Every structure is written in structure tokens, then in C-alpha cells.
Amino acid sequence: MASEGLVVPVDSFSQPASLIKKTAVSRSWVSVDSSGQSTVLDLDKYGIMKRVSIHARDLRLLDPLLSYPSAILGREKAIVLNLEHIKAIITTEEVLLRDPMDDNVIPIVEELQRRLPPVNGNYLGQGDDEEGTGVQTEAQTSESIEFPFEFRALEVALEGICSFLDARTRELETDAYPALDELTSMISSRNLDRVRKLKSAMTRLTNRVLKVRDELEQLLDDDDDMADLYLSRKLSFASSPSNDGGDFTWSPASPTIESKISRASRTTPFSIHGEHDVEELEMLLEAYFMQIEATSNKLTTLREYIDDTEDYINIQLDNHRNQLIQLELFLLSGTVSLSVYSLVAAIFGMNIPYPWNKNHGYMFKWVIMFAAMVSASVFISITTYSRHKGLVGS
């Protein structure tokens, strides 16, 4: 028998997060129902499996000690959601979030408490025309029914993860662009190490964004997977006397057929009878897919800026390398030129008797002039050849 679990009052949110994380990291859940009421639960995996009717392999995706890619899975009575720090199970009646004391999860819980409660008719504008008020109430009721509880919870989760990743991207941009500009102005070990760390952080963040983006794209490409997320529709079909799809049974709280037809500009006749019409969910997922795509484009732009900076630095290093090669060639040319004088000195310095070294002192200046001309010719030839081959600048 699965344990029933311990219900903790919602006031326990005021306890220090570090203590809760240490003691209840694997059993602490928070439940947010359709009225926005939150309850902290202490349940083991068997209690969760019994509560939401999912398999152990699906619950394993939400284990914080294991590393699984982002996933949005539709099951018979629940939606299993694993998006970075948002690890949730969504049913038609409640949302279960893991690790409610996590700093990144607390804003999601607060947003669920604010947006999950249905809109009360008292908040509608009061007018003198009762018929106009009735139309507004009918439209508002139709809106809330067409957008079921599980989709409102899914929207909060998608908005939270997209906003979280976009905020991390903007923080990275704030740190990266000044660091890259400083590196282009002064190449130093400190600046290079700083840019290296920023590039590593950008790579990790890009992988996280792409995982969420790929999951949304894969979900949008498969209508059957999106149809599995319609928990309220599946529950309605399961409770209907005839499930063959020929006659649709309207619940007492459902809007009338006339109100459905009046909204035909946004829904097709198939949405009334079709089990696999996923237009509403597709529009919801496309909106957040575009948002996560924009975040991915920001990171792509940042990566291109980093690559351009690396190319600019490599050009600067190549320029300095060419200057060193040029200096080396000049020194080599001078060494070769001076070696001509060494050759002449070696010839005249040999201890060999020969007759023409007597009474021919005027030959000394001609030998010096000839050696200088040969040295200059060698130097000019080496320099001209190096410029012709592009080894040195002009």
C-alpha cells in the first residue's frame, strides 16, 4: 500500500529554504488546485503514483538527482513536465511541483496561485443593459471552458521557463559584450580567461535553451502528442455515454451550441466533434516557441560576436607575428651583408706569402668599396625577394 503522505500547511513556505532542501529534497511537493490554494505535501514516489496515476518511469523524469532532457509528456490523466528546474505533474484538478522551497520554483508557485483561479463574474463591468452583461458573461464563461485548467497551468510553466532562460541570456549579454570590447582593446591573460569563462557559460546556456526549443518543436510537429495533453477532453469523452464521436454530450456547464457557432471565426466545426483538434494548444505552444526561438537567436548573435572578436584577435596576432618575421629578415640580411667583410678579412688575413701585397696600398680602398657594394647588393636582394613573396610589409 502506498503511503498517504503528510500534508504540510502552506505556511511552511516561511521556513528556511536550506533546511527544507536538506531534509525533504526527494519527498517535498506543493499542490496548487484550481482555486489557487497551495498545500505542501510530503509524499514518496508511491504516494505520487497513486495520487496522479502515472508510472514510475514517468516519475523518474522528475528526479532531481538524475539528469534527463526537457520533456512534456501527455499521459492518460496527467501531464508530466520536466523543464529545467520546473518539475511538475499537471492534472485536471491540481498541479504538483517538486522542491517547492527552491528559489526558482517559488515564483512559479506564486504565479500559479494568481492565475489558476477561475475569473469571477463579479469582476465584470456593471452596465445598465442586462443583455450586454449576459453576452459578456457568456463569452467569459466560454473562454474559461475552452481554455481548460491543464493548459492554464502549462502556460504558467512555459512562461516561467522562457522568462527564466531569457533573463539568464540578458545577464550573459550584459557581462559578455563589455568583456569582449575590453579584450579587443587590450589582449591580456586576465581578459582572455574572463572571455573563456563567459564562452563556456554561453555554451551551457545555449544547450539548455535548445533542449527546451527542441521539445516544443517536436511537440508542435506531432498532433497526436498535442492531443494527449487535452486531459479535460479525454475525461469528458471517457465519462460520455457514447464515445464513438457521432453525438457530442454537452455538460451542464458547457456553453450552448449557438455560442460555439458564434465563435466560428476562431474554432472550426471539427473542434466541437473532433478528438484530435489541437488548434488552441498549438497557438499556445507556438507563442512560447517563438519566445524561446528569440532567446536562441540572442545567443546565436552573441556567439557570432565572440567568433568575430576571435577573428579580430587572430588578425592582430598575425600582424605582430609578421612584424617579428620582418625584423628577423632584416637582421638576417644584415648578417649576410657583414659576412662579405668577414670573407674579405679572412682572405687577406691568411698567412700565405704572395707578391701583390707589397707596394699596392691603394688596393685597400678598392677592396673596401667592392665589399660594401656586394654587401648592399645582397641586402637589397634579400629584402626585395621577401617583399615579392609577401613575407614582410611594404
Model pLDDT, residue 43: 83
Model pLDDT, residue 42: 86
Model pLDDT, residue 335: 80
71: helix, strand or coil: strand
- Which residue type is seen at 31? S
Its pTM stands at 0.69
Q: How does DSSP assign 280-316, residue by residue?
A: HHHHHHHHHHHHHHHHHHHHHHHHHHHHHHHHHHHHH
Model pLDDT, residue 125: 41
More confident residue, 381 or 166: 166
Average pLDDT over residues 240-250: 47
More confident residue, 381 or 123: 381
Model pLDDT, residue 256: 37
Model pLDDT, residue 135: 41
For the cut 90, the answer to whether the pLDDT of residue 208 exceeds it is yes
* 12-32 pLDDT tens trace: 444 444 444 444 344 789 999
Measure the CA–CA gap between 289 and 293, rounded to whole angstroms: 6
Measure the CA–CA gap between 5 and 151, rounded to whole angstroms: 27
Least confident segment among 24-38, 149-163, 182-196: 24-38
